[in-house]
Structure 1
């Protein structure tokens, strides 16, 4: 039973058909979480005692940074599944995860620079966490670039998957960089093994935004993967019937 479900999950057609049913619900939940979290954090959360209102960019910066890190594992695991079980859908999801992850990483770096100006007095500082976040952006872009670097599609996907797996070494370094090296970045705000250093009135809208960005990531990943499925499976009968049916409906 488990193997049958796993086999279905690896089917591009099954994924495309099922994900179409998931999207409306996921999109609605995403919109609700992002609207509630952003209004709660930007308008109703109290000002920080030291940073004033400038800290409020944390409600965009931290969720995008957290999800970009988690998204790298999604990309790497998809690549591993593709290498081990030769699943076409896994490679499609790996490419889509690279695109979405790169956008989130860039947004995290950009909002970090905006936050750094009033906090540190400069837009950019090459501290440990920032440097390794930039490295992660290049790893994402490298996976995307390798998809186009080879004439052989099979070689391109395998090379991308290997790069994605090698790059996972960078993720725990990013997590622990503020603990291992002297850095301008503040220590971890949300802690699972001890009490968080952020007041609940600021924490709850932040958690809401993190949940919202996770949902946004999922929606974007599904949309990009669906587009990739149609592109790579365009010669199959079911995609041709889908296109023909959509044309007739117009």
Structure 2
């Protein structure tokens, strides 16, 4: 799956799935643009790539999302692939708790609104290259909430899934493909960032295969969907969940 000469923007590329995807794209010859908020983690991710463009940015801020695209075009002159991977749960708050609407807005901004915005910014450039978009969603968007307090996250990921279909319809006539991947549990810093106290070993019990994926597994799927091998695939939400969905 050679990406020689291709320019790939990856958000949330400082760790986990995003960092793994950046490394794999780079190994396949792509010019990678790694985007994230944590400078130290971005530096560690960049060290695994070949001359990446590192953009420290909070893509929930419109001007910073614009800067990601502007710096990419300034350096490389094109965009071939956009991987909308940034996401997470800034705060878990139940529907009956104080602060629920602020938490809802924060989760929606990170997991959905920023994706829509960055897609609109990148789309004119993707049309020029007949490029494509891969959105990293989650099984939370298609299954009942996996714990109290994550309703906003589940709704945001469900919205991302449908946005993927809508964008695929709207951009398809221009030759731009749009797909999503919904991972089940993946061994990243997701639980730590969300301040969950259970372990990934606990989560594995809720899958058919009794295992948790590694970031590289999802990264490989991202590369496949972004490659010419998937040239007939668009508007798809690809599950990689170790049987999480059919267990519930």
TM-score where L is the length of structure 2: 0.30
Higher helix share: 1
Does 1 or 2 have the higher relative contact order (CA < 8 Å, sep 6+)? 1
Q: Which protein shows a greater Rg?
A: 1
Higher strand share: 2
